[in-house]
Every structure is written in structure tokens, then in C-alpha cells.
Amino acid sequence: MSVDPILVGVVGNRLHSILAEQQNALVNTAFSSVVRESLDLACAVFDSRGEMIGQSVGGTPGHINAMATGMHHFVAAYPPERLEPGDVLLTNDPWQTAGQINDITVATPVFHRGRVLAWFASCCHAPDIGGRLVSAEANEVFEEGLRLPILKFVRAGEVNAELEAIIRANVRTPEETIGDLYAQVAGNAVGAASLVRLAEEFELDSIDEIAAEIMNRSERALRDAIAALPDGTFRSELRTDGFGDEEVRLKVALTVRGEDIDIDFAGSSPQSKHGINVVLNYTRAYASFAVKAAISPGVPHNAGSFRPVHVTAPAGSVLNCLPPAPVASRHLIGHFLPSLLIGALDGRMAHSADALWMTIWRGQSQVDGREFMLNVFQTGGIGARTTKDGLNTTGFPSGLRATPTEVIETMAPLVQTRRVLRTDSGGAGTYRGGLGQSTTVTARGEISWSVNGNVDRTSSPATGVHGGLDGAPGRFGLADGTDLPGKRRVPLAPDAEVDVVLPGAGGYGDPSERDPRRVLMDVVDGYVSIEAARDVYGVEIRYTGRPDALVRLPDDYEIVERD
């Protein structure tokens, strides 16, 4: 029997609102800045079989898309006969969900009229899960923290006290970590309650048929977008900093065949002995995101939009690592996949800064012994496009927000003495790459402290396309010019000043073809220096204002016309 198309539209829109409620409840009750400020999370609703119907507006592709496939593990482990109202499940198994032990997925079955109607789930980055913190230092996953199989965190409405005690005993931030888990439970409960009200309003015993139609529509729309592409195989490759002297190369062959796309990462580097490896689930997550973002970004995101995209990577490679490979810093490789794939598809966008920079600051007061630990997220620039400049300091492809200075200085004895856009860091071009950001961090008071710098593109800059220039590489080091090793814990002197300098993105097109008026405004805004305007863009600009002026207005600059 066909489903009423009007009902499908109404339910689809209502689910969109319910998912916003779920995310708002989660964010507003979360304890950590990771979730509350940076939105390192994903929220979604699934049918009774574990097929994703939709996601909330926020959320990272690595979480939401990995959770979409990971839910099948929940449903397989706990079929309906093993569930009862009030149950809540969780896991952080990297190979079943988001590829990292810090990412905990919490799933809640929704009961209506005695049967499982649907599932609500969320995946959040826990502020700590034990082990070596988030770094690439480990040589196997067992060193990276507490690994939890699919378990019941709540049984029929009662929290599993033994499981909570185990988690508390293994993390450095028990209140924040457990608090975020409760926030995930609360968000799922809010979504479940609203869905039950929706089912009662429309007298629905099941939403599976409606869900199937929603998914089919997305599948059809994405297939139509793929069919508009020319058939053929398109290739791309790039390199990342890797770990130490171990450079990582990523290669892809993307084949368009009618309404389907095959993505094969054969030729990429073998899995590393360090924690930069990516599980296949996470590789699929960012690969499918890249295709949809490139050719059909407006299609509602659900299980249907995954069906035309087929992803493979050799077992034992850095993009399909095998247990017990270390995986804690897998985002430092996985976040490069959209740039890699968009380059293979059409080259309409230069490479971005890509990998999210995550610094973990930990220390102890030498006066009262109080300890602190804080995860700080920062982002570089987005690559220039065919008709637009790249965006500055914007989280792509992660979608995460940078941690505000006020939050950093409130939650830890740290001071950001500088936070500015990096002039000339965006790759020059007809359209300029997005700028990175420079920050300097010092400690407040008498403390012993350390930092884990999960950073990349310090030696492998974002490349420009079609004549555009590369973006500036990043830098992680001390203010005195000493570079610090990335992807590992580094002890710091009490008076150290740490520079966290994020990379810029690549430019698009020949810089000499950029409109001189746009170059002028770049100089006015501080995006491009007067020297770079002259030497790179060929535009002579003169500053006519007061040399000591703190505020320099647009009228204080002029283009010098050449003879």
C-alpha cells in the first residue's frame, strides 16, 4: 500500500523539529565545553530496524554518518525481545561507530503500544576516556582508554550503577564525562517523548513505511545528481604530515557509473603504528559526506543518501585499519577525505586546512594541588571556490566551533594573550583561500602543565588549484621559535608561551586575475599585506593615513595606478 505523500511531508517536517529539540536538550544539559561550546556531537532518529531517517542540523559528518551505519550493531546486539521501556544502550567501540574511543554513542529504543517504534541516538566526544588522552602516541588501541562494548547504561529506567562506577574510575574528568552521558540520555528522552506524541496524533502504530519513503526520496534525488555527472574514473591524491617522519599519502579512484559512485582508496598508505589510523566506518562517513556536499547538498540526509555511494579501502591500510590498531587521532587523516574527493570530482574547490586542530591542556597547581584538563578546538581556513573566496577559520569538514577565549580562561588557569587572523595565510588566487588564525597561550599562576597538540598541515600545506597558490602551513611551538612535536603530550615550562598557528587554505585561479578592488579590500581588512598585494597580486596599494593610527579606515588606502 502506498504511503500518503502529504503525511510523509508532515511527518518529515515534524521529525526535523523533534531532532532540533533532541539536540537542544543535549547541548543545554551538557557539562563539557566539547559538547556545549564546540558541538562535537551528532543527533539522529532511526526506524525500528536501525535505518537513519534524519539528523539534527548540528553534528559532525564523522559522528552522524558513522552512527548511521553503527546503529545496525545496536539493533543486532539487542533485538526487540531483549529490550524494555526505559532501556538506554551505549558503546564507544571504534570499529562499530565513530572510529575513536572518546566518541560515545548513546542509543534509546522508543516504545509505543508495546513495540519498538524507533530509536533516538547521539554521539558525543567525551572530554576524557582514560589512556594517553587524545594523541597518536599509542601503539595499539588498548593504550588509548576504556573500550566499552554495546551495554545497557540504563535498564528499565534505572542507571547501571556498576557501569557508571567503572567509567568514573577510568577517566580524569568523571563529572564532565558522566554529566555528558546523562545529557545524551536526556536528549534522547526528549526526542522519544515528542515522537510518541506524533504517533498518537496521527494514530500510527509504526513509522517504518513513512521512514522508507523519506529515505527513498533522498536516494532518488542523489541518484539523479550522480546521473548528471559524466561517467568515468577520476583520481586524486594528497599527503598529510603523518606522525614524525612517517608521511601519509591518500589516494582515491572515484568511478561514476550511471546512478552510482564507487570510491576506492587503494594505494593509500598502510596502517600506521601510531594512532592516526581510520576505521572503514569513519572513512565511509567522510567519503559519503563529500559526495553529497559536492553534488547535492540540499538533499535531506538519511540512510537513502548513502545507498548510491560505495566505499572500499584495502584492509590494513590507513583508511581501513584492523584491530588492535591505535586510532585516537583518526580525525587528522579522516578530515582530509573531502578535499581529496572534491579534487577528484571536479576540482571546483581548493584544498582546505582540513584537519581540526585539537589541543588538550592539562596541569596541576603547585599551590593547592588542584588539577585541570581542557580540550580546545580551533579551525583553519576553507579552500577557495570557483566563484567565491574561502571562509576564514571555519570548521570544514568537521563543522565544529572553535572554543571561545572566555571559556578557555574560565575553565582552566590559561590565558590567550593573542587571537588574530593570519595575514597572508590564505592561498592567493583569483579567489583567495580562507585564512588561518594565530593564538598564543600562557599559564596563570604557579602550575606544572603540558599540552597534546593534535595538529596537521604544518609541513604539508593546503594546495591551490587552477593556478591558485598554496595556503600557509601551520605552526605548533613556543613563542621563542622552538617547534613542538605534534600528536603527542609535551611537558611545558611554567612560564612557557605556546603559539598555536593554524594553516590557511589554497587559492583558486591565477592571482593576477583577481579584481584589484578585491585586493584593496583584502588589505583594508588585514587579510593581505601591502607587500603581498604588490608581489603576488601585482596590485600597488598605498596607505595614506596616520602612521600611528590604531584604526585604519578604507579611505586611508588607495590603489596606485601604474604608468
Q: What is the pLDDT of residue 366?
A: 86
Q: What is the pLDDT of residue 312?
A: 98
**What's the predicted TM-score (pTM) here?**
0.95
Question: Do 121 and 180 share a domain, yes or no?
Answer: yes
Q: Which residues contact 189 (CB under 8 A, 6 or more apart)?
A: 25, 108
Question: Do 44 and 131 share a domain, yes or no?
Answer: yes
Digit-coded pLDDT (tens) for 275-304: 999 999 999 999 999 999 999 999 999 999
CA distances (Å), 116 to each of 110, 329, 332, in order?
A: 6, 36, 38
Question: Do 437 and 502 share a domain, yes or no?
Answer: yes
Q: What is the pLDDT of residue 51?
A: 98
367 in a structural domain:
yes
403 in a structural domain:
yes
Q: What percent of the chain has pLDDT over 70?
A: 100
Question: Do 510 and 522 share a domain, yes or no?
Answer: no
Question: Do 476 and 523 share a domain, yes or no?
Answer: no
Give the strand order in the sheet containing 357-365. Answer: 371-378, 357-365, 447-454, 489-492
Question: Do 433 and 555 share a domain, yes or no?
Answer: no
Q: What is the pLDDT of residue 156?
A: 98
Average of pLDDT values for 36-49?
Answer: 97
- pLDDT band of 217, cuts 50, 70, 90: very high
Number of folded domains that form the chain: 3
Q: What is the pLDDT of residue 563?
A: 63
Question: Do 34 and 55 share a domain, yes or no?
Answer: yes
Distance CA 379, CA 502 (A): 7
Question: Do 406 and 525 share a domain, yes or no?
Answer: no
Please identify, among 217, 251, 279, the residue that sits at the C-terminal boundary of a domain.
217
- pLDDT band of 2, cuts 50, 70, 90: confident
The answer to whether residues 298 and 286 touch, using CB atoms and an 8 Å cutoff, is no
CA distances (Å), 561 to each of 31, 64, 487, 540, 556, in order?
A: 57, 52, 49, 7, 16
Question: Do 456 and 477 share a domain, yes or no?
Answer: yes
Average of pLDDT values for 24-43?
Answer: 97
Question: Do 549 and 426 share a domain, yes or no?
Answer: no
pLDDT for 177 beyond 60: yes
Distance CA 419, CA 435 (A): 13
> 352 lies in which domain range?
347-514
- pLDDT band of 485, cuts 50, 70, 90: very high
247 in a structural domain:
no
Q: What is the pLDDT of residue 144?
A: 97
Average of pLDDT values for 148-156?
Answer: 98
Question: Do 480 and 526 share a domain, yes or no?
Answer: no
Distance CA 344, CA 354 (A): 16
Question: Do 32 and 140 share a domain, yes or no?
Answer: yes
Q: What is the pLDDT of residue 101?
A: 96
- pLDDT band of 195, cuts 50, 70, 90: very high
pLDDT for 325 beyond 90: yes
- pLDDT band of 12, cuts 50, 70, 90: very high
